[in-house]
Structure 1
Amino acid sequence: MTSDPRVLVIGLDPYRVPGPWDPGPVATGIQAGMDDFAAHGVGVETCLVGLDGSDDIEAVVSAALASRPWEVVVVGGGIRRSEEQSGLFETVINLIRRHSPGAAIAFNRTPDDTYKAAARWLSEDPGA
Protein backbone atom coordinates (compact mmCIF):
# COMPACT_ATOMS: atom_id res chain seq x y z
CA MET A 1 0.00 0.00 0.00
CA THR A 2 1.33 3.42 -0.96
CA SER A 3 1.02 6.27 1.50
CA ASP A 4 -0.32 9.74 0.80
CA PRO A 5 1.98 11.61 -1.57
CA ARG A 6 5.10 12.92 0.15
CA VAL A 7 7.17 13.56 -2.97
CA LEU A 8 6.48 15.79 -5.95
CA VAL A 9 8.46 15.21 -9.13
CA ILE A 10 8.67 18.21 -11.47
CA GLY A 11 9.89 17.48 -14.94
CA LEU A 12 9.33 17.74 -18.65
CA ASP A 13 6.63 15.71 -20.35
CA PRO A 14 8.69 13.85 -22.95
CA TYR A 15 5.76 13.81 -25.36
CA ARG A 16 5.53 17.61 -25.29
CA VAL A 17 9.16 18.51 -25.87
CA PRO A 18 9.64 19.73 -29.44
CA GLY A 19 12.30 18.28 -31.63
CA PRO A 20 13.13 15.27 -33.67
CA TRP A 21 13.64 12.72 -30.92
CA ASP A 22 12.04 9.56 -29.54
CA PRO A 23 10.28 10.32 -26.23
CA GLY A 24 9.61 6.62 -25.57
CA PRO A 25 12.79 5.77 -23.63
CA VAL A 26 12.38 8.80 -21.36
CA ALA A 27 8.71 7.99 -20.75
CA THR A 28 9.68 4.40 -19.91
CA GLY A 29 12.34 5.68 -17.50
CA ILE A 30 9.84 8.00 -15.81
CA GLN A 31 7.42 5.09 -15.34
CA ALA A 32 10.20 2.91 -13.90
CA GLY A 33 11.02 5.69 -11.45
CA MET A 34 7.38 5.96 -10.38
CA ASP A 35 7.19 2.16 -9.99
CA ASP A 36 10.11 2.36 -7.51
CA PHE A 37 8.09 4.72 -5.30
CA ALA A 38 5.19 2.25 -5.29
CA ALA A 39 7.54 -0.65 -4.52
CA HIS A 40 8.80 1.26 -1.47
CA GLY A 41 5.33 2.36 -0.36
CA VAL A 42 6.16 6.05 -0.81
CA GLY A 43 3.45 8.29 -2.25
CA VAL A 44 4.47 10.41 -5.22
CA GLU A 45 2.85 12.76 -7.68
CA THR A 46 4.26 14.10 -10.91
CA CYS A 47 4.04 17.54 -12.42
CA LEU A 48 5.18 17.10 -16.00
CA VAL A 49 5.10 20.23 -18.11
CA GLY A 50 5.39 20.73 -21.83
CA LEU A 51 7.75 22.95 -23.74
CA ASP A 52 5.39 23.02 -26.69
CA GLY A 53 3.51 26.11 -25.46
CA SER A 54 0.55 24.11 -24.15
CA ASP A 55 1.22 24.98 -20.49
CA ASP A 56 1.48 28.08 -18.39
CA ILE A 57 4.42 26.40 -16.69
CA GLU A 58 4.59 28.79 -13.73
CA ALA A 59 0.86 28.32 -13.00
CA VAL A 60 0.99 24.52 -13.39
CA VAL A 61 4.04 24.13 -11.15
CA SER A 62 2.69 26.61 -8.57
CA ALA A 63 -0.61 24.73 -8.35
CA ALA A 64 1.14 21.39 -7.87
CA LEU A 65 3.44 22.79 -5.19
CA ALA A 66 0.58 24.48 -3.33
CA SER A 67 -1.70 21.43 -3.48
CA ARG A 68 -0.30 19.89 -0.27
CA PRO A 69 2.78 19.89 1.95
CA TRP A 70 5.67 18.07 0.27
CA GLU A 71 8.50 16.40 2.09
CA VAL A 72 10.70 16.30 -1.02
CA VAL A 73 10.49 17.95 -4.44
CA VAL A 74 12.57 16.31 -7.17
CA VAL A 75 13.52 18.48 -10.14
CA GLY A 76 14.18 16.42 -13.25
CA GLY A 77 17.23 16.61 -15.46
CA GLY A 78 15.35 17.89 -18.48
CA ILE A 79 14.75 21.12 -16.58
CA ARG A 80 18.18 21.28 -14.95
CA ARG A 81 20.66 20.15 -17.56
CA SER A 82 19.87 22.24 -20.60
CA GLU A 83 21.38 25.68 -21.01
CA GLU A 84 18.26 26.64 -22.93
CA GLN A 85 16.18 25.81 -19.85
CA SER A 86 18.28 27.73 -17.28
CA GLY A 87 15.52 30.34 -16.88
CA LEU A 88 12.93 27.61 -16.35
CA PHE A 89 15.21 25.92 -13.80
CA GLU A 90 15.55 29.19 -11.86
CA THR A 91 11.79 29.70 -11.98
CA VAL A 92 11.10 26.19 -10.67
CA ILE A 93 13.59 26.53 -7.80
CA ASN A 94 12.11 29.89 -6.78
CA LEU A 95 8.56 28.48 -6.97
CA ILE A 96 9.63 25.63 -4.67
CA ARG A 97 11.08 28.15 -2.21
CA ARG A 98 7.84 30.17 -2.33
CA HIS A 99 5.22 27.40 -2.21
CA SER A 100 7.03 24.54 -0.40
CA PRO A 101 9.69 26.17 1.75
CA GLY A 102 9.89 23.18 4.10
CA ALA A 103 10.52 20.65 1.32
CA ALA A 104 13.92 19.22 0.58
CA ILE A 105 14.98 19.67 -3.05
CA ALA A 106 16.48 16.66 -4.80
CA PHE A 107 17.94 16.05 -8.24
CA ASN A 108 17.84 12.75 -10.08
CA ARG A 109 20.53 11.54 -12.47
CA THR A 110 18.13 9.69 -14.77
CA PRO A 111 14.34 9.33 -14.87
CA ASP A 112 14.53 5.81 -13.48
CA ASP A 113 16.55 6.77 -10.39
CA THR A 114 14.08 9.39 -9.17
CA TYR A 115 13.14 7.34 -6.09
CA LYS A 116 16.81 7.14 -5.06
CA ALA A 117 17.11 10.91 -5.36
CA ALA A 118 14.06 11.47 -3.15
CA ALA A 119 15.02 8.72 -0.68
CA ARG A 120 18.18 10.62 0.26
CA TRP A 121 15.90 13.22 1.83
CA LEU A 122 12.88 11.25 3.04
CA SER A 123 12.39 10.96 6.77
CA GLU A 124 11.79 7.45 8.05
CA ASP A 125 8.60 8.57 9.75
CA PRO A 126 6.00 9.33 7.06
CA GLY A 127 4.20 11.61 9.51
CA ALA A 128 7.29 13.75 10.00
Structure 2
Amino acid sequence: MAKKVLMVGWHPSVVDYAKYPGLTPEKLEGALRADERKLNDQGYDAAIGFLFDGDGATDQLVETLKSDSYDVVMIGAGVRKDDDHFLVFERLVNIVHEHAPSARIAFNTGPTDSDAAIQRWA
Protein backbone atom coordinates (compact mmCIF):
# COMPACT_ATOMS: atom_id res chain seq x y z
CA MET A 1 0.00 0.00 0.00
CA ALA A 2 1.33 3.42 -0.97
CA LYS A 3 2.33 5.80 1.78
CA LYS A 4 -0.13 8.69 1.90
CA VAL A 5 1.43 12.13 2.05
CA LEU A 6 -0.02 15.62 2.31
CA MET A 7 1.85 18.73 1.20
CA VAL A 8 0.40 21.78 2.98
CA GLY A 9 1.05 25.33 1.85
CA TRP A 10 -0.35 28.59 0.58
CA HIS A 11 -2.37 28.54 -2.60
CA PRO A 12 -0.42 30.42 -5.30
CA SER A 13 -3.18 33.03 -5.51
CA VAL A 14 -2.58 34.27 -1.93
CA VAL A 15 1.23 34.44 -1.75
CA ASP A 16 2.90 37.84 -1.31
CA TYR A 17 5.30 37.65 -4.26
CA ALA A 18 7.07 40.88 -3.24
CA LYS A 19 8.83 38.70 -0.66
CA TYR A 20 10.02 36.23 -3.31
CA PRO A 21 11.62 38.07 -6.26
CA GLY A 22 11.32 36.11 -9.49
CA LEU A 23 8.60 33.81 -8.21
CA THR A 24 5.18 33.95 -9.85
CA PRO A 25 1.93 32.09 -9.18
CA GLU A 26 2.58 29.96 -12.26
CA LYS A 27 6.15 29.08 -11.23
CA LEU A 28 5.06 28.25 -7.68
CA GLU A 29 2.18 26.03 -8.70
CA GLY A 30 4.30 24.39 -11.39
CA ALA A 31 7.04 23.53 -8.89
CA LEU A 32 4.57 22.18 -6.33
CA ARG A 33 2.70 20.13 -8.91
CA ALA A 34 6.01 18.77 -10.24
CA ASP A 35 6.94 17.53 -6.75
CA GLU A 36 3.46 16.05 -6.33
CA ARG A 37 3.83 14.18 -9.67
CA LYS A 38 7.35 13.07 -8.76
CA LEU A 39 6.13 11.57 -5.49
CA ASN A 40 3.17 9.87 -7.14
CA ASP A 41 5.47 8.48 -9.86
CA GLN A 42 7.67 7.05 -7.09
CA GLY A 43 4.72 5.16 -5.62
CA TYR A 44 3.49 7.55 -2.96
CA ASP A 45 -0.12 8.68 -2.71
CA ALA A 46 0.63 12.41 -2.62
CA ALA A 47 -1.76 15.36 -2.53
CA ILE A 48 -1.49 19.10 -2.01
CA GLY A 49 -3.60 20.78 0.66
CA PHE A 50 -3.67 24.42 -0.31
CA LEU A 51 -4.38 27.04 2.36
CA PHE A 52 -6.21 30.22 1.37
CA ASP A 53 -5.86 32.49 4.40
CA GLY A 54 -4.29 32.56 7.83
CA ASP A 55 -7.56 32.82 9.69
CA GLY A 56 -9.03 29.72 8.06
CA ALA A 57 -5.83 27.69 7.69
CA THR A 58 -6.32 25.61 10.81
CA ASP A 59 -9.93 24.77 9.95
CA GLN A 60 -8.89 23.83 6.41
CA LEU A 61 -6.18 21.51 7.70
CA VAL A 62 -8.44 19.92 10.33
CA GLU A 63 -11.02 19.09 7.64
CA THR A 64 -8.35 17.60 5.39
CA LEU A 65 -6.87 15.49 8.19
CA LYS A 66 -10.33 14.28 9.23
CA SER A 67 -11.07 13.11 5.69
CA ASP A 68 -8.15 10.68 5.48
CA SER A 69 -5.11 9.40 7.34
CA TYR A 70 -1.61 10.39 6.31
CA ASP A 71 1.81 8.87 6.85
CA VAL A 72 3.60 12.19 6.34
CA VAL A 73 2.36 15.78 6.49
CA MET A 74 4.72 18.39 5.08
CA ILE A 75 4.23 22.05 5.96
CA GLY A 76 5.72 24.26 3.28
CA ALA A 77 8.45 26.84 3.63
CA GLY A 78 6.11 29.66 2.61
CA VAL A 79 4.29 29.16 5.90
CA ARG A 80 7.24 28.10 8.03
CA LYS A 81 9.91 30.61 6.96
CA ASP A 82 7.78 33.74 6.72
CA ASP A 83 7.75 35.61 10.04
CA ASP A 84 4.36 37.08 9.14
CA HIS A 85 2.94 33.54 9.30
CA PHE A 86 4.75 32.30 12.41
CA LEU A 87 1.56 31.89 14.44
CA VAL A 88 -0.18 30.11 11.55
CA PHE A 89 2.78 27.75 11.32
CA GLU A 90 2.69 27.07 15.05
CA ARG A 91 -1.05 26.34 14.93
CA LEU A 92 -0.64 24.02 11.93
CA VAL A 93 2.05 21.97 13.66
CA ASN A 94 -0.25 21.52 16.63
CA ILE A 95 -3.18 20.60 14.38
CA VAL A 96 -1.09 17.86 12.76
CA HIS A 97 0.03 16.65 16.18
CA GLU A 98 -3.58 16.54 17.41
CA HIS A 99 -5.41 15.20 14.34
CA ALA A 100 -2.72 13.00 12.77
CA PRO A 101 -0.64 11.85 15.75
CA SER A 102 0.95 8.93 13.91
CA ALA A 103 1.99 11.02 10.91
CA ARG A 104 5.56 12.20 10.54
CA ILE A 105 5.93 15.94 10.06
CA ALA A 106 8.28 17.20 7.35
CA PHE A 107 9.43 20.64 6.20
CA ASN A 108 10.74 21.68 2.80
CA THR A 109 13.06 24.62 2.14
CA GLY A 110 11.13 25.87 -0.91
CA PRO A 111 8.70 24.80 -3.61
CA THR A 112 11.16 22.53 -5.41
CA ASP A 113 12.28 20.11 -2.69
CA SER A 114 9.00 18.88 -1.20
CA ASP A 115 9.72 15.38 -2.51
CA ALA A 116 13.06 15.26 -0.66
CA ALA A 117 11.44 16.49 2.58
CA ILE A 118 8.79 13.78 2.38
CA GLN A 119 11.27 11.05 1.46
CA ARG A 120 13.28 11.81 4.61
CA TRP A 121 10.30 10.74 6.73
CA ALA A 122 8.20 8.35 4.62
TM over 0.5: yes
- Say if 1:17 and 1:50, in contact at 8 Å, map to a contact too: no
Cα–Cα, structure 1 residues 24 and 121, in superposed 2: closer, same or farther, change >3 Å? same
- Say if 2:2 and 2:43, in contact at 8 Å, map to a contact too: no
Pairwise CA RMSD: 1.9
Separation in structure 2 between the aligned mates of residue 103 and residue 27 of structure 1, nearest angstrom: 25
TM-score (norm 1): 0.82
Larger helix share, 1 or 2: 2
- Say if 2:39 and 2:115, in contact at 8 Å, map to a contact too: yes
Separation in structure 2 between the aligned mates of residue 115 and residue 22 of structure 1, nearest angstrom: 20
Q: Which amino acid aligns with 1:99?
A: H
- Computing the radius of gyration from Cα coordinates, the structure with the larger value is 1
Q: Which runs of 4+ in 1 moved over 6 A?
A: none
Unaligned runs of 5+ in 1: 123-128
Separation in structure 2 between the aligned mates of residue 120 and residue 22 of structure 1, nearest angstrom: 28
TM-score (norm 2): 0.86
Give aligned-pair identity as a percent: 27
Instruction: Give the drift of 1:80.
Output: 0.2
* Aligned counterpart, 1:83: 83
* Correspondent of 1:24 among 20, 23, 26: 26
Separation in structure 1 between the aligned mates of residue 17 and residue 30 of structure 2, nearest angstrom: 18
Instruction: Give the drift of 1:10.
Output: 0.7
**Secondary structure in 2 matching 1:69:** coil
Unaligned runs of 5+ in 2: none
